[in-house]
Amino acid sequence: MLSACVTVLGPTISGFFVTAQLGLDQTGIYAIATAIAVMVSIPYRSMSSIVQPELAKASKEKDTVKLNLLVRQVAAVLMWVALVLLALIWINIDVIFAILPNGNIYAPARYVILFLGIGNLLQASFSLVGSVLSFSRYYYYSIFFSLILAVVTIGLNNWLIPLIGINGAAVATCTAYGIYFITLLSAVWIKLKVSPLSASLWKIVLMAIAMAVADIFLSRLFGNMDLYGSAVLRTVLIVGGACLVSYYIRIVPELNLFADKWLSRITNKSKG
């Protein structure tokens, strides 16, 4: 599957270049950063196995309306969940390094985690489009897109690692994912008229920008607080605030239904 290839290809190539150009010490740091960042894409790995049969059925029936509905709903849900996970990791990154044994060694990799996390967010949000392509009569295009990802990743690693070190590998991977998904989404729209882009998705992008600005402001505001206190306050205000805003303005209606279901259960139990 194209999505499985994408999951492995980018990080593997970047890891190879880090080893070749920066040595084994930096490779170990990069591996830890990759392991932390990959948590952002876990929701996709869980949900894809549930959605794939429906995508295969809709593709077989050439039901473009159903394909668009599925892809847009799932992309919005996965982007929102991945964004929350990335925000939790980034806001608490100093706490993570404080807890990790020899965390001071890994601390310089904070931006590696950020850029790899953004790459994993893109992967979680849009990899399902690759499945749509794989189920279509244009499945052989997958080879072309895999080559694009490989060539761009190799080229960017060669250019960026000598300039900015280990951060260059992360920026290369993130940028390669961006170029890859722009190309993939464009091709799938042109050939199949299927796209994950929706109003919900653009609202999530705006929410991500607002969360980033809030984190910059609050990091300065709470700069003199202790590490754990600052992390807790920023987590509550940024992530908690974003979740509340998302719920009340119904950015992702499917998540509202899920939240309402659990709130109803909690209410019924408390009454009982």
Confidence band, pLDDT 50/70/90 cuts, at residue 5: low
Q: Average pLDDT for residues 191-220, to the nearest whole number?
A: 95
| Tokens coding 47 | 């949900």
Amino acid (1-letter code) at residue 23: G
Give tens-digit pLDDT for 99-144: 988 888 888 899 999 999 999 999 999 999 998 998 888 888 888 8
Cβ–Cβ < 8 Å for 214, 235:
no
Most confident of 22-26, 123-127, 220-224: 123-127
| pLDDT confidence of residue 13 | 83
pLDDT attached to residue 115: 96
Q: Please say if the pLDDT value at position 23 is more than 70.
A: yes
Binned at pLDDT 50, 70 and 90, residue 159 comes out as very high
Tokens of 265: 């259960």
Tokens standing for 271? 């009454």
Over range 48-61, report the average pLDDT. Answer: 88
- Least confident interval from 24-33, 63-72, 260-269: 260-269
> Residue 3 pLDDT > 60, yes or no?
no
Q: What is the pLDDT of residue 25?
A: 85
> Residue 150: pLDDT above 70?
yes
| CB 159 within 8 Å of CB 36 | no
- What residues have CB less than 8 Å from 134, skipping those under 6 apart? 1, 2, 3, 142
User: What is the pLDDT of the chain when averaged over all its residues?
Assistant: 89
CA dist., res. 271 & res. 6, Å (int): 48
- 267/199 Cα distance (integer angstroms): 32
Q: What's the token pair of residue 224? A: 């003199």
The pTM of the full predicted model, rounded to 2 decimals, is 0.92
Q: Is 102 exposed, middle or buried (0-12, 13-18, 19+ CB in 10 A)?
A: exposed
